[in-house]
Structure 1
Amino acid sequence: MVDPLTDPLVEVLVRLLLALGLGALIGLEREQSESGGSFAGSRTFPLIALYGALIQAFFPSLLPLAFGILVVPLTVAYLGKVVYKRDIGLTTFVAALITAVLGAMTVHSDRSAVVAIIVGGVVTVLLSVKGPIHEFADRIEKSERRASAKFILIVLVVLPALPDRPVDVLYGLNPRFVWLMVVFVTGLGFVAYLLGRILGTERGIAITGILGGFVSSTATTVSMAEKTAQNETLYHVCAFAVVTASIVMFPRALIEVAVVNPDLLPSVVLPLGGMTAVGAIAAGALYWRTASDRTLEPEELKNPFRLRPALAFGVIFAIVLLVSESANEWFGASGVYATAFFTGLADIDAMTITLSQLAADGTVSTRVATTGIVIAAIANTFVKAVLAWLLGTARLGRLVSIVLGVVVLSGLVFVSI
């Protein structure tokens, strides 16, 4: 007796229903759209998806021809929309073509069916957030858009062209790995920057500290210190933003370790996670003292997709990688720790990625890599306290030093366990 769940006919029918469902999902969204409803809606899109699924299921060799035929009526409908509605938008036209592809994918294989479901959901969300996307685009200045476009273009052109092997003239460095890490670190900051732009300048101070920590905790500290120098009564709220931006460095470092060397993550989680938890508790206690200062207007986040800072980080990272290897070879663990401290004064990302990679290669032990990352984090945290004293007021410096001092002590305790 044939199991109905594995019967080929039943399986095909299930895939066709899946295609109809994805088409209906996109079609309902387009039906509610003023421009999309007149072009195609809740009936047309399921039919387009079913069309692609049927061709893939029974006439796969004719799929290119079938798509060519489908383009003809879609083009006619689009031209009619342009003439009668004066709407030249291509969104619904492109969505219809994607729907046909998704319909074919539901039948092609199990993996492609899963991908079709994911892409269908993403397409629906993307179509439904037209207003927020346009508002976000209008909020970004032309110079910022140009800088981001240049950076992305250079990434797409440069990354594939770089050799993915150690190069003797670069003292054994892998150029593609170095540049990939530049893109990764900059990308983390860019995600936070996008969130900041979407949330706008009226976001709360907690989010200001968190996003500032992902983009640049040092820049956030400098900005908050300058605010207290202008208005000393803001020292509580500014201290909270500085502390929040500082402790965000630790989960950021955990993300970098997880990407570069997942095997190192269990060793690093305890000290960095512990410092994050202690810092979050201290920041929470500090937050209750900021009730009267919650109207603080934060500084605008700077777009991290800029070529010069990215190149500077690439150079720093390459140097740190070479110095760390040499320090470990010449002086052992003490050399790595000294390098971690002095590098951490300027940048924690370079040292985190460097030690993660060296641990993955077996150049340094897991213990040395973990301790070095914590030392770099402590050194960078120390810099925040110094900046608060030098650029802010004595009250800000004292409060930040106390809170971050507790965080640093907890890090020393956790790394010694």
Structure 2
Amino acid sequence: MVDPVADPLAEVLLHLLVGVGLGALIGLEREQSESGGMFAGSRTFPLFALYGGLVSEFFPRMLPLAIGALVVPLTVAYAGKIRFEEDIGLTTVMAALLTAILGAIAMHSDTGAIVAIVVGGTVTVLLSIKDPIHEFAENIEETERLASAKFILVVLVVLPTLPNRPLDALYGLNPRFIWLMVVFVTGLGFVAYVLAQFLDPEQGIAVTGVIGGFVSSTATTVSMAEKTTQNETLYHICAFAVVIASIVMFPRALIEVAVVNPELLPSVAVPLGAMTVVGTVAAGALYWRTTSDETVEPDELSNPFRLRPALLFGVVFALVLLVSEHAHEWFGTSGVYATAFLSGLADVDAMTITLSRLAAEGTISTQVATTGIVIAAIANTLVKAALAWLLGTYRLGRLVSIVLGVVVASGLVLLVI
């Protein structure tokens, strides 16, 4: 009996079906949004994918010529679209070409089919959120656009030129790794910043806390503390936002560990996961005690894609990496823990990535790295409580300190155990 999975014909048909399915998905979106008009819709886009898939499978050498030949009827149809609909948008034309290429990619291999599915899904999402994207672009100020453009340009220009090896001139540091971590950490904040632009303030202070925690939990804490000095009755809802922003730091650290050293993740996930759960429960209790008429307008978050803060983080990260390595050599684990605490007072990301890296290289043990990361997180959490005391009202400081104190205690207990 022939195994249907191993049958070459069945495999070809399955991959072809994936391509046609992606074409149908994109075609339905184009027709539903009425962007395709007379140009193409739910029937034409699957045919584009089928065209690309069949040529790729049976005439692979002819694929570039086939894609080029497809440009001719697309150009004619595009000219007619301009003539009769007065629409000069190129989105549907590019989607048609990309659909044919996706059909070809789906036929390449199993990996190609997965890539086609991911890219096809991304294309569909991008096509379907046209209005929010345009609204987001229109609302960005000129200074914000320039800041993002400069940052992206520096990333694209600088990254390929950086050596991907330890340099004696930099005391053994790998410049490309450091810059990659700068881009990664800044990217996390930028994703949250973009999400914030799509959300209305009315969607809740919880969203503000979560987004603020990814962009800057310290800035969120300062903002909420200042609001209580303006209106003391808001201390409950502001405390809730501070706690949410503070505990978001823990899953953020887990994401960084998973990227830099996945093998360390199970060890770090236990204490940080527990602190996240305890903090979430405590935040829920705070929210439950918040009266329904308590509202607070969140401040506008600044764009994390700014060059100066990114460069500053790179310098801090490099220094933390150097100090941590030498602290371990000179003072052993106690030196690592002291460095983690002091570094955590200012920034958790740098210490989290540093210890994950050192553990991956075998410089320190998994236990030392886990303990150091938790110590840095605890130190940063204590800073949030201190800021609530110093910049906010007495009630805010007391409430935040109690809640975050319980969170810190849960982490310490798990470290001792």
Q: Common fold, TM-score beyond 0.5?
A: yes
2:26 is equivalent to residue 26 of structure 1: yes
Matching of residue 103 in structure 1 with residue 92 in structure 2: no
Change (3 A) 1:3 1:341: closer
Q: CA deviation at 1:339?
A: 1.1
Taking structure 1 as reference, are residues 345 and 47 closer, same or farther at Cα in structure 2, changes over 3 Å only?
A: same
CA distance in 1, matches of 2:178, 2:96: 41
Which string of whole-angstrom CA distances, capped at 9 and with x for unpartnered residues, describes residues 73-106 of structure 1? 1011112212322211100100110111122223
RMSD: 1.7
Q: Which amino acid aligns with 2:309?
A: P
SS of equivalent residue, structure 1 residue 136: helix
Look up the match of 2:381. Answer: 381
- Residue 83 of structure 2 is aligned to residue 83 of structure 1: yes
**Structure 1 residue 315 and structure 2 residue 315: aligned?**
yes
**What does residue 170 of structure 1 align with?**
170
- Residues 208-219 of structure 1: matches in 2 within 5 Å? 208-219=208-219
Bigger drift between 391-400 and 264-273 goes to 264-273
Could you tell me which residue of structure 2 aligns to residue 331 of structure 1?
331
What is the TM-score with the length of structure 1 in the denominator?
Answer: 0.96
Q: State the secondary structure of the residue aligned to 2:291.
A: helix
Cα offset for 1:141?
2.1
Q: Helix, strand or coil: the match of 2:202?
A: coil
Match of 1:371 in 2: 371
Separation (CA, whole Å) in 1 of partners of 2:2 and 2:127: 42
Q: Deviations over 1:188-211 (max 9, x none)?
A: 111111111111332311111111
Cα deviation digits, residues 128-165 of structure 1 (max 9, x gap): 22122222222322321221121111111111111111
Instruction: Report the 3-state secondary structure (helix = DSSP H, G, I; strand = E; otherwise coil) of the residue aligned with 1:37.
Output: coil
1:192 — aligned with what?
192
User: Could you state the TM-score of these two structures normalised by the residue count of structure 2?
Assistant: 0.96
- From the superposition, tell whether residues 365 and 206 of structure 1 become closer, same or farther in structure 2 (CA, over 3 Å): same
Amino acid at match of 1:134: H
Report whether the alignment pairs 1:46 with 2:46. yes
Distance 2:299 2:66 in 1: 54
| Local SS of the residue matching 2:201 | coil
CA distance 1:345–1:14, change in 2 (3 Å): closer
5+ residue gaps, structure 2, are none
Determine if contact 1:204/1:294 at 8 Å carries over to the other structure.
no
Match in the other structure for 2:156? 156
Aligned to 1:143: 143
Q: Contact 1:27 / 1:43 at 8 angstroms: preserved in 2? A: yes
Q: Deviations over 1:256-295 (max 9, x none)?
A: 1111111211221121111111111111111112124542
Which amino acid in 2 is paired with 1:201? P
- 2:385 and 2:10 map into 1 onto residues whose CA distance is 66
Residue equivalent to 2:237:
237
What is the alpha-carbon distance in structure 2 between the residues aligned to residue 43 and residue 356 of structure 1?
50
Give the fraction of aligned pairs with identical amino acids, expressed as a percent: 77
Alignment check: 8 A CA contact 2:237 2:295 kept: no
Query: Whole-Å Cα distance in 1 between the matches of residues 133 and 292 of structure 2?
Result: 34
Q: What is the distance in 2 between the residues matched to 1:365 and 1:22? A: 46
Contact kept, 8 Å, 2:234 with 2:294, in 1: the verdict is: no
Residue of structure 2 equivalent to 1:129: 129
The alignment status of 1:250 with 2:243, answered yes or no, reads no
Q: Conserved in 2, the CA contact under 8 Å of 1:53 and 1:105?
A: yes
Gaps of 5+ in 1: none
Query: Offset of 1:4 from its aligned partner?
Result: 6.0
1:270/1:415 contact within 8 Å kept: no
Answer yes or no: is 1:283 the counterpart of 2:275: no
1:280-319 alpha-carbon deviations (Å, 9 max, x no partner): 1111111112124542111111111100000000000101
Residue 206 in 1 paired to residue 206 in 2? yes
Distance 1:38 1:218, change over 3 A: same
Distance 1:235 1:162, change over 3 A: same
Question: Partner letter of residue 56 of structure 2?
Answer: Q
- Whole-angstrom CA distance in 2 between matches of 1:253 and 1:360: 16
SS, match of residue 88 in structure 2? coil
Match of 2:303 in 1: 303
1:353-374 Cα shifts (integer Å, max 9, x gaps)? 1111111112122222111111
Cα 1:85–1:11 shift into 2, 3 Å: same
What SS does structure 2 have at the residue aligned with 1:34? Answer: coil
